[in-house]
């Protein structure tokens, strides 16, 4: 069953749940279930189970149907599309607010002369242990101070907490070295 430019399959519109097979103008064959379709732009969002066979994991593809040589509906959905989940707008607003605050903080720190590399170190430590900025120093657990140049030699605080922060910084530095070695070999 072919799909025309109005996004219709015969008398039925192309709808969520239909399974399509498309052959692109490059000869690539794409198959999947329609998750969304915009008739104005002729773009369909399709999903198919991921190659690793884990349940609930899908490969998602955007396909411009106007650039396809052949579009066939393999299976037409007989069930109505599922209702869209409700959005937690408070959670979305908090994420936006947190993201904006993080960007503003990064800009402020950059203006104060704290490099993106040091900001990355801060975020790495903060994933494991609570920390904050105090001027150009990183304060970890209100106990350990990491001073410029932000090495394990500049740690001050109680021995146990310093040892924990030292491990995080050493691992962070190893990861950066491995990443740099991987990038230079490619």
DSSP secondary structure string, 138-176? EEETTTEEE-TT-SGGGEES-HHHHHHHHHHHHHHHHHH
pLDDT in tens, 67-85: 899 889 899 988 888 787 7
CATH topology of domain 8-75: SH3 type barrels. (2.30.30)
Mean predicted lDDT score pLDDT of the chain: 86
pLDDT in tens, 85-106: 788 999 999 999 999 998 998 8
Backbone angles phi, psi at 132, to 5 degrees: -150, 165
Domain boundaries, the chain: 8-75, 112-185
Is the confidence at residue 186, as pLDDT, over 80?
no
Distance, CA of 121 to chain centre:
20
Distance, CA of 142 to chain centre:
31
Is the confidence at residue 134, as pLDDT, over 70?
yes
Backbone angles phi, psi at 41, to 5 degrees: -95, -10
Residue 164 confidence (pLDDT) = 96
Say if residues 65 and 43 touch (Cβ distance below 8 Å).
yes
pLDDT in tens, 108-130: 988 999 999 999 999 999 999 99
Residue of higher predicted confidence among 12 and 179: 179
């Amino acid at each position: 069953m072919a799909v025309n430019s109005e996004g219709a399959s015969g008398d039925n519109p192309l709808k969520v749940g239909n399974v399509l097979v498309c052959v692109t103008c490059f000869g690539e064959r794409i198959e999947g279930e329609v998750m969304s379709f915009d008739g104005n732009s002729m773009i369909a969002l399709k999903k198919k189970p991921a190659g690793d066979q884990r349940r609930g994991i899908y490969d998602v593809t955007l396909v411009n149907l106007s650039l396809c040589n052949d579009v066939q509906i393999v299976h037409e959905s007989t069930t109505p599309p599922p209702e869209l989940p409700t959005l937690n707008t408070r959670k979305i607003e908090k994420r936006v607010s947190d993201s904006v605050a993080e960007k503003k903080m990064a800009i402020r720190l950059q203006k104060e002369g704290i490099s993106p590399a040091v900001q990355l170190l801060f975020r790495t430590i903060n994933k494991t242990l609570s920390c904050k900025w105090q001027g150009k120093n990183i304060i970890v657990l209100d106990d350990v101070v990491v001073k410029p140049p932000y090495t394990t030699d500049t740690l001050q605080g109680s021995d146990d907490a310093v040892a924990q922060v030292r491990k995080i910084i050493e691992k962070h530095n190893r990861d950066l070295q491995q990443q740099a070695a991987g990038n230079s070999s490619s």
